[in-house]
Amino acid sequence: MIHRSQEATKNLISICIITYNQEQYIRRAIDSVLAQTGNIDIEIVISDDGSNDTTPQICFEYQQKHPDLVRVVASITNRGVLSNWYQAIESSTGTYIALLEGDDYWIDPQKLSKQSAILQKEANIGFVYSDFFYLDEKKGTLIQGMNHYRPSNNLFEETLFNQALVSSTLMFRRPLFEPALFQQFIVHRFLTPDLPLFLHFCLTTQSYFLSDNTTIYNWRAGSVSRPTTQQEDLQFRESIYRIRLFFIIKKGENKKLLLAKNEFILHKEQLLIAWKFNDYQHAKQLAISFPFFATWQKDKKIALLAILSRYHTSFRLFRPYITRNRPL
């Protein structure tokens, strides 16, 4: 049974729900937390980033119904997703912190019990993450998130270039959150807080992968990670590039190779975005960044795509095939 002790407890779990203009989703997220089972002591901190829909009213409604469990921290103005994450975590008091974005929800009623048990038992483990399902909102279908996933021996580099972790599956020990470092993320104007937080954790501590599906991750157009305009998509990818750069320099090991890979991935993503948004002129300009033989050794598909990008006829003929698996 979930409860909130009137006294401070050693194993208090803070669930930080981060929300902004999510009136159609936020009840589902909060209800999925209230549905958790097990003898666990929790608090629910809901951080609203100045929503201009009915999200704040819904959150305060839950606070009224469950004053011993729910606490709402609301901003008057919209300060941005990183500041909202910071506010949520800083406002919490738990030994362990679980994150839940307001449009996601949990499907395993024992998620918190399982993850907190691992952290209590394994002193060397700093954070636990789990498998999940993508919800393709447009099609209404579920997609397995981490099918046959096995963590690599180098979770930092795995996360750096192929992020597998999803924030709403995460539970971590409070000391891993470093306010001064997170403030640097805000100063650098990173567009997403999850990747830098994950990379910091990977450099700092050991992890545990829970193979259970605990979470539905709402994969919807218009979210930060699924932009619907070319400019937003380019800005998001450039932000990911800068996050990688920040941590490659911070780590300091194998720097030359990682920096070169980061540059290649940025140019590759820019080229794919040009095809995605039918921007032949930009694709042609970017094609110069991919010398054929050097690119062929790294990525044969991109080498061929760069060749096709040089000519309008080939760009027009092959674009339906190239972009068919890259939906908005």
In the chain, residues under CATH classification 3.90.550.10 are 2-219
Q: Could you please report the per-residue DSSP string of 102-136? A: TT-EE--TTHHHHHHHHHHH-TTEEEEEEEEEEEE
How far apart CA 197 and CA 190 sit, in angstroms, is 11
Residue 270: CB atoms within 10 A of its CB come to 19
What topology is assigned to 2-219 in CATH? Spore Coat Polysaccharide Biosynthesis Protein SpsA; Chain A (3.90.550)
How confident is the model over 2-51, as pLDDT tens digits?
665 555 566 799 999 999 999 999 999 999 999 999 989 999 999 999 99
Closest by Cα among 274, 272, 284, 277 to 312? 284
Q: Which two tokens stand for residue 111?
A: 């998620």
* Residue 309 identity (one-letter amino acid): S
Average pLDDT over residues 201-225: 87
Indicate the Cα dihedral angle 115, 118, 119, 124, nearest 10°: -140
How confident is the model over 259-310, as pLDDT tens digits?
999 999 999 999 999 999 999 999 999 999 999 999 999 999 999 999 999 9
Q: Which two tokens stand for residue 141?
A: 């279908």
Percent of the chain scored above 90 by pLDDT?
81
Residue 324: CB atoms within 10 A of its CB come to 8
Output the pLDDT for position 140. Answer: 82
How far apart CA 20 and CA 242 sit, in angstroms, is 25
The mean pLDDT value of the chain amounts to: 92
- Whether 324 shows a pLDDT value over 90: the answer reads no
For the four alpha carbons of 190, 242, 207 and 107, in that order, the dihedral sign comes to: positive
How far apart CA 177 and CA 182 sit, in angstroms, is 8
Write the Ramachandran bin of 142: left for phi over 0, alpha for psi from -120 to 50, otherwise beta.
beta
- Whether 254 shows a pLDDT value over 90: the answer reads no
Q: Mutual orientation of helices 300-308 and 312-322 as an angle, nearest 10°?
A: 130
For the four alpha carbons of 85, 90, 92 and 98, in that order, the dihedral sign comes to: positive
How far apart CA 142 and CA 135 sit, in angstroms, is 5
Q: Would you place residue 328 in the very low, low, confident or very high pLDDT band (cuts 50, 70, 90)?
A: very low
